[in-house]
Structure 1
Amino acid sequence: MNAEEVYPEIGRILAADLGSLTGNGRFSAMPPSSLHAWSLPEPDKAALSAYGLPGPRTDGLYGVTGDFQPSGEPELTQDGARFYRLGGYAGVRHLAEEGTGRVVLPVPTSAEVHPQLAARFPDRRTFKPVNSSVTAWVECAWRWHWLVPLITEQWKQAEEAQLAAWRDAAGGAPDAEFADFHAPYRRLCRQVVVAFELIDPAAVASEESFWTEVISER
């Protein structure tokens, strides 16, 4: 599928209702029965109950997957705030703050990384915002679940076209051209960023935002 063909498919995924993206629950990892005891806004609990989260991927790509804590009490406490474990991305937990429903991920501390990298990380636990609510996070997670293979394929095609142009030039081909092969891929990423901003402005509030980095990390 080339870039022109993939635009409509990405638009369809971004506009689809979540019920269709979850296969009406067939593809969902559902929260535990203890969800009713979690102190989260009712719309957030309703979103989790209705849609759950994507299960583990089998294509080698990264997405948010469900990994719910089983208990009714928050799993992590820091500085008076308490957090429920919902799932993860590439092995990093995603947590919902008790009361607010704000979704964050724990940033590794200097003691948890290789000593050569320690200077880049804080001395104590901090949290990186992901979404302003569980409801928005569920929506972004499901849309990304279906978007990531399409976007990754466009990146691969751009890389292959660029490599072929380099090979032609190295071989002395007189008509070798160096176009911006990644421009269509970047437009697709921008389309997704704009759509996620409509879902939740906090999701892509800066270049360092979780979803901004995930969408354009290839």
Structure 2
Amino acid sequence: MSDHHEAVAQALSQPIDLLAAADGPAVAETGDVSAWQLPAQDKTALAHWGVPLLEECRLVPHIQQGAMPELDVRGQKFYALGLFANHEIGVLPSAGEVWAIPADPALPKVFINSSVTLFVETTWRWYWTWKELDALRADIEQYDVLDAFLAFATTRDPRVGAAEPSLWPGLIQSW
């Protein structure tokens, strides 16, 4: 196993506290999520770890400040978390599901994660996976790293592999 593959294996297995260290990479401000209508663990994960900033991979968190959902997609309200791969990231109140909303209203929204907690965890693991992918550039090993990440994402959140369309498999398969 190469150093890159080993680093990704470590990033996919370490406790989230080690990956989202306060002195680590840039993290989006979390606003006041305590008033959001979400399960307590989702609010805690977002307030405690935030979402990493990964501009080169088009993950740009911008967590809304207000207590009421600010994103309106064809009459459905979402809490706003920022942008990812040219989609707005929205969270369904109460359910806590995370969705990618394309700029083109003719396109369907795309499932990301079953909960904010899983989204926060997966984006932090993607942050560290991306760092290894970036170092690999055009090396064939990048596909092993991508497969390892997708296996993690679908094992941790089975709906990631079952939902159509789904952002994580779409991102990996577009490589």
**In 2, are the aligned partners of 1:43 and 1:135 still within 8 Å (CA)?**
yes
User: Structure 1 residues 70, 77: closer, same or farther in 2, change over 3 A?
Assistant: same
Question: Using the alignment, how far apart are the partners of 2:53 and 2:103 within structure 1?
Answer: 24
130-139 vs 143-152, greater mean Cα deviation: 143-152
TM-aligned CA distance change 1:24 to 1:8, over 3 Å: same
Shift in alpha-carbon separation, 1:144–1:99, aligned structure 2, 3 A = same
The offset of 1:17, in angstroms, is 1.3
Relative contact order (C-alpha < 8 Å, sep 6+): which is higher?
2
CA distance in 1, matches of 2:58, 2:161: 16
Contact 1:53 1:141 in 2 (8 A): yes
Q: Which structure 1 residue ranges, 4+ long, deviate > 4 Å from structure 2?
A: none
How much has 1:89 moved relative to structure 2?
A: 1.2
TM-score by length of 1: 0.71
Aligned residue number for residue 160 of structure 2 = 203
**How far off its partner does 1:41 sit?**
1.1
Cα distance in 2 for residues equivalent to 1:102 and 1:206: 12
Q: Please report the TM-score for the alignment, with normalisation by the length of structure 2.
A: 0.86
More helix per residue = 1
Question: What is the 5 A alignment of 1:1-218?
Answer: 4-24=2-22, 26-27=24-25, 28-33=27-32, 35-57=33-55, 61-78=56-73, 81-109=76-104, 121-122=106-107, 126-156=108-138, 158=139, 182=140, 184-205=141-162, 208-218=165-175
2:22 match: secondary structure: coil
- Contact 1:40–1:98, Cα closer than 8 Å, also in 2: yes
Alignment RMSD: 2.3
Percent identity among equivalent residues? 25
Any idea what the Cα deviations from partners look like across 1:90-122, whole Å, max 9, x if unmatched? 342100001100000113436xxxxxxxxxx44
Does the CA contact (< 8 Å) of 2:28 and 2:50 recur in 1?
yes
CA contact (8 A) 1:37 1:72 kept: yes
Report how far residue 75 of structure 1 moved.
0.6
Return closer, same or farther for 1:211/1:15 CA change in 2, 3 Å cut-off: same
Structure 1 distance, partners of 2:144, 2:54, is 28
Q: Is the 8 A contact 2:87 2:103 kept in 1?
A: no
Higher Rg: 1
From the superposition, tell whether residues 188 and 104 of structure 1 become closer, same or farther in structure 2 (CA, over 3 Å).
Answer: same
Code of the residue aligned with 1:31 in structure 2: it is T
Judged with a 3 Å threshold, the aligned counterparts in structure 2 of structure 1 residues 98 and 200 are, in CA distance, closer, same or farther, namely same
Contact preservation (8 Å) 1:204, 1:210:
no
Q: 1:50: Cα distance to partner?
A: 1.1
Count of residues in correspondence between the two structures: 174
Report the Cα distance in structure 2 between the residues aligned to 1:187 and 1:144, rounded to whole angstroms.
Answer: 14
Letter matched to residue 134 of structure 2: T
